[in-house]
Amino acid sequence: MGKQGQVRQGKRWYARAWVAPLAVVVAAFVAFSVPPYLAVDPGLSRVPAPPGNGWHFPVLVAHVVFGSVAILTCVVQVWPWFRQRYPVAHRRVGRVYVFAGVLPAGATALAIGAVSPFGPLNQVGNVLMGALWLAFTVTGYRMARRRRYVDHRRWMIRSFALTASIMSNRVWAVVATIALTPRLDTTFGGSPVALSQAVSGLAAWLGWVVPLLVAEWWLERGDARARRRRVEERSPRQPVGV
């Protein structure tokens, strides 16, 4: 196997214990967010339809269903044990993640994001996030097709950061509501609309920018360690007294 095909081995199980909590959080998120849309009843939607866009609700439902495929399959894909033990299944689940998850969920996100009823900050944040999600995932897929597995891993970590970030979006909305509501009559001049647009705008941006920065830090940290290992291999330390 060439350098690009090398798989990191030998980590202890507790260094990978993040997979189980991730799976629980993702399952809880899907169980809470998705059911209102499965009834295909616009009255149950948590997103009010923007006036004059009759297509919005069916596209939102499609987005939620494909988004669920993406977020559920990505848990399996980032699990190192599964990747190493079942490489063929990793490829198959990967195709489901890309073609039945991110591509349709990202394309529908661009459409509903552009007309979001939660204001311009939210619209721009969502459209940019959707475009980056598509770009990272397509690049990661193309790298795998070319057998450039080191690059594949890097782009798919970025794709994963955006997929999973949709959960942190909801947390930021709660934090922003708690932080900003006391300023309704001052900063927002008593306008609940201005307040709610600021809350959803902050959630839309912080929701994906922070996880993407964490992903970049994680990748950079891995690169720095690999560089240190290479230097040590080239010039091993002399034993004391030699």
What is the binding site for ligand HEM (CB under 6 A)?
Answer: 30, 33-34, 46-47, 63-64, 67-68, 70-71, 105, 109, 112-113, 116, 118, 122, 126, 129-130, 133, 162-163, 166
Tell the smallest beta-carbon distance from residue 176 to ligand HEM (Å): 14
3-state secondary structure of 123: helix
Tell the smallest beta-carbon distance from residue 239 to ligand HEM (Å): 52
User: How far is residue 120 from each of residues 40, 62, 127, 153, measured CA to CA in Å?
Assistant: 27, 23, 10, 33
Tell the smallest beta-carbon distance from residue 218 to ligand HEM (Å): 18
CA torsion 161-167-173-174 (nearest 10°) is: -130
162 or 198: CB nearest ligand HEM: 162
Tokens of 163: 């997929």
Tell the smallest beta-carbon distance from residue 56 to ligand HEM (Å): 9
Determine whether 50 is exposed, middle or buried from the number of CB atoms within 10 Å of its CB (0-12, 13-18, 19+). middle
144 or 166: CB nearest ligand HEM: 166
Which residue in the shown chain puts its C-beta closest to ligand HEM? 67
75 or 112: CB nearest ligand HEM: 112
Tell the smallest beta-carbon distance from residue 8 to ligand HEM (Å): 27
Q: CA 102 to CA 89: how far, in whole Å?
A: 18
User: How far is residue 199 from each of residues 50, 118, 123, 184, 233, measured CA to CA in Å?
Assistant: 18, 9, 13, 11, 51
Tokens of 216: 């970049």
> Do residues 116 and 122 make contact, with C-beta atoms less than 8 angstroms apart?
yes
4 or 168: CB nearest ligand HEM: 168
Tell the smallest beta-carbon distance from residue 67 to ligand HEM (Å): 3
129 or 144: CB nearest ligand HEM: 129
> Do residues 86 and 79 make contact, with C-beta atoms less than 8 angstroms apart?
no
Helix residue spans in the chain (DSSP H):
19-33, 35-38, 56-77, 80-85, 87-95, 103-114, 120-145, 149-180, 192-234
71 or 176: CB nearest ligand HEM: 71
